[in-house]
Amino acid sequence: MPYRARMARRGPAGVQRTGEYGTIELVPDRDRPGSWILLTDGRQQSYVDTDDPRQLRFGYVRRFRAVVDAAAPAGRPLTVLHLGGGALTLPRYVAATRPGSTQRVVEHDAVLIDMVREHLPLPRGADVRVRAADARAVVESTRDGRFDLVVSDVFDGGRMPRSVASTEFYGHVARILRPGGLFVANVTDGPPMTYTRTQAATLAGAFGGGDTCLLTERSLYAGNRHGNSVLIAAAGPLPVAEYARDASRDPEPWLILHGNELTRFTAGARAMTDATATDSPPD
């Protein structure tokens, strides 16, 4: 959810509340009518184009889009669990591109949920149910094989919490996926990407003989700044070529690591367990 620190341009008719993790604002994008920016303590969290949910501002959300697009033939409905809700950018995209999809969203901040419901309601007919709950608890209580796709974009005060960063957590995620199901997560980190390496190793171990790949902002990989990476895992082979094609067309440079390249990237990294897991580093 947290994207690199960029301040939104304030405009009229913004909305402000005090949420669980700080001051929440919904600010209209003065350059694009119908679009809104969600901020927490001044940091951009989500961007929503209510007129066209296919317009995705943040690079890591566009990587999520590629996973959604490649998950099944175009237009086929999916059953999706979103951990972390924000302004419901990705659920809106799924509803627009795969009508009939069943989506469940878990967001810890009830104030944020109510604020988005009131000011940025979902399109009529979208089967998206949002609940205030703990992401780890919901995953643990979910029956086996329920979802085609699980998306993790969980942050607490700008950091990915340890509860959704362990081998045990990822094992539960693998359990609740249907055959052929996919898991994708947003991870924030800074140079030298120690946390990202550890998360990639943890996820690969939890999915056993499955497949894992990493997409990361080139500026982060080059050691220039804090940024976003996207981890993807499945029990079977991933459509890595499709992810790579999508990333190659992006206005922001992204790098994909898979197979031997990912193995070299994670060399020496130890998987996190519930006993050793930590929150992601602050930026």
pLDDT in tens, 99-120: 999 999 999 999 999 999 999 9
Give residue 158's pLDDT.
Answer: 86
Quote the crossing angle between the two packed helices 59-70 and 89-97, to the nearest 10°.
30
Q: Which of 194, 138, 206, 142 is nearest to 170 (CA)?
A: 206
Active site residues: 153
> pLDDT-based confidence at 45, cuts 50/70/90?
very high
Kindly state the percentage of the chain with pLDDT values over 90.
Answer: 90
**Tell me, what amino acid is at 120?**
L
User: Selecting from 3.30.470.30, 1.10.10.10, 3.30.720.110, 3.40.50.150, what CATH number does the domain 53-265 have?
Assistant: 3.40.50.150
Q: What is the pLDDT of residues 181-192, one digit of tens each?
A: 999 999 999 999
Q: What is the pLDDT of residues 232-253, one digit of tens each?
A: 999 999 999 999 999 999 999 9
Which two structure tokens, joined as six digits, stand for 24?
Answer: 């929440």
Domain ranges of the chain: 53-265
Report the range of poorest mean pLDDT among 18-22, 57-61, 114-118, 131-135: 18-22
Class of residue 44 by CB neighbours under 10 A (exposed 0-12, middle 13-18, buried 19+): buried
Give residue 245's pLDDT.
Answer: 97
pTM: 0.94
**β-pair type (147-152, 79-83):** parallel
Does 70 score more than 70 pLDDT? yes
